[in-house]
Amino acid sequence: MLINISFHFDYFPLMVVAAIAWGTPVLLSLFKLKKVPSVIVEIILGYFIGQYLLGSIDHESFRILEFFALTGFIFLMFLSGLEIDVDQIMASLPRKRLTYVRFIKNPLLVGIVYFFLSIILAYVGTLLLSNLIDIPHVWYFSLIMVTTSVGIVLPVLKDRGEIKNRYGQMIIIAAAVADIFSIILFTFTAFIIKSGFQAELLYILGLFIIFFVFYSLGNKVKNVPVLKKLAFQLSHAASQIRIRGSILLIMLFVVIAQFIGEEAVLLGAFLIGLVLSTMLHRERSVMLLKLDGMGYGFFIPIFFIMVGIEFDPSALMEFDQSLIWFLVFLLITLFAVKFIPAFLWRRLFGLKKAMAGGFLMSSRLSLIIAASAIGLEMGVITPGINAGFIIMAVITCFISPVIFNWLSPGNILKSDKTIIIGGSSTAVLLARRLAMHGKKSVIVENDTVRAKELTAKGIYCIEGDGCSAELYKDLNMNSSDFVIVETGSPDKNHEICKLLRNELLHDNIITRSSTSDIELKLKYLGVETIDVIGALATTIENLILRPTTYHALVESFENFSVEEILIANKSVDGLQLKEVPFHKDAILMMVKRGNSFYIPHGDTYFRMGDVLHVFGTNTALQDTREKVG
């Protein structure tokens, strides 16, 4: 039996859309406009091709584009859920008696209060705006205004190296809480608007029950050895079993959500994203990269291009003379509902950083467009209001990061960092891998052309000579900074290490050993050296003797990592290992005390200053840091 394949479909519209999706980031890169979100350009270009190129396409071809756009929308909601680190939110749950000081330092509690203050301000702003224009549904309009964009917030904070510090965590969790609460309220509100208060409303609660079932099962199943081995074997074959499983889970939740009602699809896709978020290592998951590739590489650009194609500027004419006032007041309100609650952060970070965080939280993109489109379909948002929200999405996601960086300029040199002397390919790879772990680094390169090349690639690089003592003063080098000397010249490496140790009295220096003579000189200086030949031999040995373990820990970048944690908590001093309730996903591999190493057992006593070598998940490592640090 042969499958019936028909070639009568017109692929020209899809080719045009694919060309825009491919060409947009290329153009932004060529014109050095990397800070401009590509979706803005996609929406704008989508409008022009809709007006001048695809205006006469047949209905069937347009339906195909709409199907891909809907799939992109589902992927967008799924990846929005996947962007949220559930482990970080769970780690922020208060575990001690709540006081004002503990409240103001807790990112989850502050994020919840931030959201409810935003929704109150949004409702008041909508009531005022309703005196200027006709708003069919004030509450739904208010919900649209409290949305934010984790997809804009995360990259901005990551570029500045603030994704791991308390300030970054406050903003990230506040944005995540806004996304979660907004989507939940949208779903319930849309269902009530469409069907009223009916028993079927409880079906939505059933979706949450299914979410918790999958959440619980997922965290148990992912640690079953047989399934882990099977998943690893099939993930590297043509089957790509993990990606297929992810798509199956997305479709399962979407189908269940469709059974409840079309307005629940957004919530279903978002929830399965949250489920998978708990099962992946946030920064090191290859599967996350593959899912991002599927979504942002194909489906999601089609969604935003279609937003531009279907954008109707003539709909704004419904406001007549009040159009300008409507857009200005809407923009002010959208900023105000995020800016005013940001004063909750003033005590911790100061006025300027609190204001900067409020402006960054004002960025809106996918959710505001999606919520407005759903409201338009239900009749609670007019075409003119929908067009206004699309314009606001473009403006806020462009302006907000600019104002944020202006109010709170980041300076990588003022905090802990890794200084890499020499701009070799090894240095670039190291800088990128450190960035994956949220660590800041700066490369020092004495060749002007090479320094400009690295800067153009988005790497923090300065031009300078590693042999100059003034350079390290300019870099604000402190005692905790690591200096990696990798110039490519053994003699120059030794010269720089000698300067750092003897003149600047710096301790944390790492370089490679090449000859036995140089290695002896470096060891005499007290510099940590890397035996490149020995490291290569060890890698080959691991690939021969324990290939599965090597690939799982080194190449797959999944789930687990090793961390050194210093015991600084006096309450742990003198306790035995069996008396400390370590997280179930944490394994204590080794204890370093002074220059000695111990394999721990239940009767091992801990001392202040011990360094624990812990293997485990992000949550387990965070839990261990809180208990002993």
Task: Examine residue 195 and state whether it is found in any structural domain, yes or no.
Answer: yes
pLDDT of 442 strictly over 80 = yes
How many domains is the chain partitioned into structurally? Answer: 3
pLDDT in tens, 379-412: 899 999 999 998 998 899 888 888 888 887 665 5
Distance CA 151, CA 74 (A): 15
Q: Say what the pLDDT of residue 421 is.
A: 92
Query: Do 586 and 504 lie in a common domain?
Result: no
Query: Do 198 and 285 lie in a common domain?
Result: yes
The token duo for 534 is 């020995």
Parallel, antiparallel or unpaired: strands 528-531 and 509-513: parallel
Query: Do 471 and 523 lie in a common domain?
Result: yes
Interval 523-552 mean pLDDT: 76
Sheet holding 596-598, edge to edge: 561-566, 611-616, 586-593, 596-598
Query: Do 584 and 606 lie in a common domain?
Result: yes
Q: In sequence order, what are the beta bridge partners of 612? A: 565, 591
Query: Do 191 and 336 lie in a common domain?
Result: yes
Interval 214-228 mean pLDDT: 70
Interval 502-527 mean pLDDT: 82
Structural domain boundaries, residue 564: 560-628
- Chosen domain end from 379, 407, 435: 407
Query: Do 240 and 352 lie in a common domain?
Result: yes
pLDDT of 222 strictly over 70 = no
pLDDT of 282 strictly over 70 = no
Q: What's the whole-number average pLDDT of the chain?
A: 82
Query: Do 464 and 398 lie in a common domain?
Result: no
The token duo for 571 is 């309450």
The CATH number covering residue 491 comes to 3.40.50.720
Q: Are 213 and 273 in contact (CB under 8 A)?
A: no
Query: Do 516 and 402 lie in a common domain?
Result: no
Q: Say what the pLDDT of residue 553 is.
A: 59
Give the distance from CA 111 to its chain's centroid.
17
- Chosen domain end from 375, 407, 439: 407
Q: Are 443 and 460 in contact (CB under 8 A)?
A: yes
Distance CA 475, CA 466 (A): 11
Task: Examine residue 4 and state whether it is found in any structural domain, yes or no.
Answer: no
Q: Are 486 and 512 in contact (CB under 8 A)?
A: yes
Burial of 479: CB neighbours in 10 Å, binned 0-12, 13-18, 19+: exposed
Count, residues in the chain: 629
The CATH number covering residue 219 comes to 1.20.1530.20
Task: Examine residue 121 and state whether it is found in any structural domain, yes or no.
Answer: yes
Burial 222-258 (b: 16+ CB within 10 A, else e): beeeeeeeebbeebeeeeeebeeebeebbeebbebbe
Least trusted range by pLDDT, from 65-69, 361-365, 518-522: 518-522
Task: Examine residue 474 and state whether it is found in any structural domain, yes or no.
Answer: yes
Parallel, antiparallel or unpaired: strands 596-598 and 611-616: unpaired
Interval 193-201 mean pLDDT: 79
Q: Say what the pLDDT of residue 437 is.
A: 65
Query: Do 178 and 229 lie in a common domain?
Result: yes
How many CB atoms are located within 10 Å of the residue 102 CB?
13
Q: Is 422 helix (H, G, I), strand (E, B) or coil?
A: coil
Report which of 525, 505, 452, 514 is spatially closest to residue 486, judged by C-alpha positions: 514
Task: Give the containing element (helix H, strand E) for 153.
Answer: helix 150-159
Interval 557-573 mean pLDDT: 75
Query: Do 403 and 417 lie in a common domain?
Result: no
Burial of 3: CB neighbours in 10 Å, binned 0-12, 13-18, 19+: exposed
Please give the backbone phi and psi of residue 23, each rounded to the nearest 5 degrees, phi first. -75, -30
DSSP class of residue 405 equals: H
pLDDT of 556 strictly over 50 = no
The token duo for 450 is 């090479």
Distance CA 483, CA 464 (A): 14
Please give the backbone phi and psi of residue 580, each rounded to the nearest 5 degrees, phi first. -100, 120
Neighbouring residues of 499: CB distance < 8 A, sequence distance ≥ 6:
467, 469
Q: Say what the pLDDT of residue 216 is.
A: 79
Task: Examine residue 550 and state whether it is found in any structural domain, yes or no.
Answer: no
Please give the backbone phi and psi of residue 565, each rounded to the nearest 5 degrees, phi first. -125, 125
Q: Say what the pLDDT of residue 533 is.
A: 75
Task: Examine residue 334 and state whether it is found in any structural domain, yes or no.
Answer: yes
Distance CA 254, CA 265 (A): 5
The token duo for 458 is 């988005």
Task: Examine residue 546 and state whether it is found in any structural domain, yes or no.
Answer: no
Who has greater pLDDT, 142 or 263?
142
The CATH number covering residue 578 comes to 3.30.70.1450
The reported pTM is 0.66
Task: Examine residue 222 and state whether it is found in any structural domain, yes or no.
Answer: yes
Q: Are 272 and 255 in contact (CB under 8 A)?
A: no
Q: Is 443 helix (H, G, I), strand (E, B) or coil?
A: strand
Cα distance from N-terminal residue to C-terminal residue, the chain: 66
Query: Do 51 and 166 lie in a common domain?
Result: yes
Distances (CA, A) of 117 to 266, 337, 358, 372, 401: 24, 8, 12, 21, 22
Burial 103-118 (b: 16+ CB within 10 A, else e): ebebbbbbbbbbbebb
Report which of 503, 20, 74 is spatially closest to residue 270, judged by C-alpha positions: 74
- Chosen domain end from 407, 434, 451: 407
Q: Are 388 and 330 in contact (CB under 8 A)?
A: yes
Query: Do 144 and 165 lie in a common domain?
Result: yes
